[in-house]
Structure 1
Amino acid sequence: MLETRRKSRTLSAELADTLIQRIRNQEYAPGTKLPKEMDIMEEFGVSRTVVREAISHLQAAGMAETRHGIGTFALLPEDTGLFRVHPDQLGTLRDTIALLELRIGLETEAAALAAMRRTEENLDKMRIALTAFAEAIEAGQNAVQADFQFHTEIALATQNSHFIQFMSLLGERVIPRSRLSPDEDPAPTRKAYLHRVHQEHESIFNAIQNQDVEAARAATRTHLSNSRERLRMGEINAR
């Protein structure tokens, strides 16, 4: 029994090292969801216990966090010296609004650059994210993943790795409603809110597609400013 426990700890440590290396190599970009337990078990031929112990290693190293009912997400370690947003920094409505103010400053310019530099492939991926957002609304989901993906695709369309890294460091938690259950059926007012967000995304996309730099900048500023004001008015629950 003791030998079995030792073997399990060795396997979990080796698996943790592999997962950490993948995070550092951006195979699992910070802020993105790690593969499901079953997928990791199948890829590495290990037990569920080994996978869970490995994930615990990652959490202890500051390389992952698990959100109940959502999944486990890759993180950068605390000692990298790079900018990152810790979950504790989004604990209040004021914190969330402060982060939106930062996004307004950076993402409006990202949209402008995306309008200048986007490729057809970039546009295709934005369309996929928009479609996923619409489908999530109709399915009664919160559309967080599609929302974050749309903003990430804009960052990718800048062809500037710093904007891409910024979005990766923020991760899905940058979307205020990410701390709500993804399976929660939205109330009518919440569904109407998501439809408005979708329309704002469409406006940003159209400006980028038309390579209208000023319109892309304005549409993004409007979208993020509206999100900030909706939070201030208590229209969505950011807790």
Structure 2
Amino acid sequence: MQKTKMNLTTQLVEFLRELISSGQIAPGDKLPSENTLIAQHGVSRTVVREAILRLQAEGLLYTRRGAGSFALTPPRDPSESPSGMVPRTLLERRQLLEYRIGIESQAAATAARVNPPGALADMDFALAAFRASEGNASQTMSCDYEFHLAIAKATGNPYFVQAIEMLGPAMITMPRQRFDVNSSEISPRLQQVADEHEAIREAIAAGDQMVASSCMRLHLANSIKRLERESGASPKKFG
């Protein structure tokens, strides 16, 4: 009996994890209610609650008392401005990355020109936390976002900051590899992302606007390639 319950819990965990990793439940989206999951999957309330606890431990869910469970990141405060579209499909994720190339390539160049005190320390903190976050998808996503936000803040231009804050952590693409909770080392994919972040940081530190912009553009173009490769989609010429 205990084994059956564990199997049911595992099945429900895998089902919900797939919905989150595929974007069908986007960052900030609320999960179906306990009653809905019970009815849909024919399981007990105990199984549902155990599944939610396991996903919380993996960093994939945020639960707020009286409000329910949400995917990856807490929902925005209702008093905040709406963040706009949340990318769900492969096409929408690609479109978001293309938009980010335009905004963030210039942000990196501006950050290299301005480079205010403390900016590099913020980037370094986010980089170190990113490298240490393997196995926790929510933490990886948050650290990735914080690195890009640190660059926007380094520009001293509030419009860059507003653009990144409006997108929120949902702007970070979440490939299924980031949901591998059994990994004890940083994956080759995340290592590549970390190295690309490091190159951007070094160009900003050197005050080289052209290289900083190029490194950011390359990083986000590579993100498109990684996204398409992970999804099995046919690569599209970037440009």
| TM-aligned CA deviation for residue 120 of structure 1 | 2.8
Structure 2 residue identity aligned to 1:185: V
Do 1:122 and 1:153's aligned partners in 2 also have CA atoms closer than 8 Å?
A: yes
Where does residue 208 of structure 2 map in the other structure? Answer: 212
* Superposition pairs of residues 12-161 of structure 1, within 5 angstroms: 52-53=65-66, 67-68=70-71, 70-74=72-76, 84-87=83-86, 90-137=87-134, 140-142=135-137, 143-161=140-158
| CA shift digits 1:59-85 (9 cap, x unpaired) | xxxxxxx623x342315679x6x7x33
For 1:162 and 1:75, the matched residues in 2 are separated by 21
Q: Which has the higher helix share?
A: 1
Structure 2 residue identity aligned to 1:103: R
Structure 2 gaps, min length 5: 1-26, 29-63, 234-239
Question: Could you tell me the TM-score, scaled by structure 1's length?
Answer: 0.62
CA RMSD of aligned residues (A): 3.2
For 1:131 and 1:215, the matched residues in 2 are separated by 22
Where does residue 170 of structure 1 map in the other structure? Answer: 167
For 2:123 and 2:167, the matched residues in 1 are separated by 19
For 2:107 and 2:122, the matched residues in 1 are separated by 16
For 1:146 and 1:217, the matched residues in 2 are separated by 21
Structure 2 residue identity aligned to 1:165: Q
Do 2:109 and 2:213's aligned partners in 1 also have CA atoms closer than 8 Å?
A: yes
Do 1:114 and 1:155's aligned partners in 2 also have CA atoms closer than 8 Å?
A: yes
For 2:182 and 2:94, the matched residues in 1 are separated by 22
Where does residue 199 of structure 2 map in the other structure? Answer: 203
Structure 1 residue identity aligned to 2:74: T
Question: Could you tell me the TM-score, scaled by structure 2's length?
Answer: 0.62
Where does residue 223 of structure 2 map in the other structure? Answer: 227
The structure-2 alpha-carbon separation of the partners of 1:177 and 1:190, relative to structure 1 and needing over 3 Å to count, comes to farther
Structure 1 gaps, min length 5: 1-30, 33-50, 57-65
| TM-aligned CA deviation for residue 234 of structure 1 | 2.2
For 2:231 and 2:79, the matched residues in 1 are separated by 34
The structure-2 alpha-carbon separation of the partners of 1:236 and 1:113, relative to structure 1 and needing over 3 Å to count, comes to farther
| TM-aligned CA deviation for residue 91 of structure 1 | 1.7
